[in-house]
Amino acid sequence: AQKITQTQPGMFVQEKEAVTLDCTYDTSDPSYGLFWYKQPSSGEMIFLIYQGSYDQQNATEGRYSLNFQKARKSANLVISASQLGDSAMYFCAMREYGQNFVFGPGTRLSVLP
Amino acid sequence: GAVVSQHPSRVICKSGTSVKIECRSLDFQATTMFWYRQFPKQSLMLMATSNEGSKATYEQGVEKDKFLINHASLTLSTLTVTSAHPEDSSFYICSARDRLAGTLDDEQYFGPGTRLTVT
């Protein structure tokens, strides 16, 4: 069964606007972590933000914030004030306690000038 | 953040030959390293987990005799693609977890990837 779902294969956003990339997950483990990575065309995986299952507040890192809705099992990434350099693939990932990463299928974000 | 390097970044080899990819953790010790494979426009698929000083654990469907993994030290893991064929052409990414990490939020550091093309 698919553990991480990213329903948007591709997204477009105008420069300087905000965009939300969707991620839903499936787990019965109460302890897990959720991660977002950015992969530009160069291929490197760039860590963006982390949310723990027990964290009470939504994680934020600069222009990135994670909209964590535990009951709905969603962990959407919000990018504010989009920049041209934000154009890339974005992967949502989950790690359950003692397990390896599971990655979602990814969303390709294109920022338009 | 911690740095993981991969070498080579890009390799082209002929069908039937073997190619070795190195993954190094530059400023930390990694008891566990991971090897992923990524086809164009697809996500990362875990191939194997490599533990220092022991045999690698391969994911279902990954041929251990074809993809040889050696984790000889706390800073180096190698993936050797033996008797490569065009269908092995892919982007291979390694990742390392800090030896000192032990919590759920410990970050996995990714290498820059190696693009393998088999002609």
Q: What is the pLDDT of residues A27-78, one digit of tens each?
A: 999 999 999 999 999 999 999 999 999 998 999 999 999 999 999 999 999 9
Residue-wise pLDDT tens digits, B22-35: 999 998 888 889 99
Residue A45 amino acid letter:
M
How remote is the C-alpha of B36 from its chain's centroid?
Answer: 6
pLDDT(B102) > 60: no
Average pLDDT, stretch B83-94? 96
**Residues 52 to 91 of A: which have CB under 8 A from any B CB?**
52-53, 91
Count other Cβ atoms within 10 Å, centred on residue A99: 13
Query: What is the mean pLDDT of the segment spanning B90-114?
Result: 81
Contact A43 B115 (CB under 8 A): yes
Over residues A84-93, the pLDDT tens digits come to 999 999 999 9
- Chain A residues whose beta carbon lies within 8 Å of the beta carbon of residue B105: 33, 50, 52
pLDDT exceeds cutoff 80 at B105: no
Contact assessment for residue A19 and residue A64, using Cβ atoms and an 8 Å cutoff: no
The helix or strand, by DSSP H or E, that contains position A8, with its residue range, turns out to be none
Q: State the Cα–Cα distance between residues B77 and B57, nearest whole angstrom.
A: 13
Q: 10 Å Cβ neighbour count for A84? A: 10
* Secondary structure of residue B82 in the 3-state scheme: coil
Beta strand pairing call for A107-112 and A10-14: parallel
Indicate the helix (H) or strand (E) that contains B7. Answer: strand B4-7
Average pLDDT in chain B: 90
3-state secondary structure of B16: coil
Lowest mean pLDDT among A13-17, B55-59, B111-115: B55-59
Rg of chain A in Å (alpha carbons): 13
pLDDT at B100 over 70: no
Q: Which of B49, B93, B105 sits opposite A45 (nearest CB)?
A: B93
Whether residue A99 contacts residue A13, with contact meaning beta carbons closer than 8 Å, is answered with no
Residue numbers in A near B34 (CB within 8 A): 100-101
pLDDT at site A97: 81
Chain A interface includes B42 (CB < 8 A): yes
Task: Tabulate helix, strand, coil % of chain A (nearest 5).
Answer: 5, 50, 45
Average pLDDT of span B47-73: 91
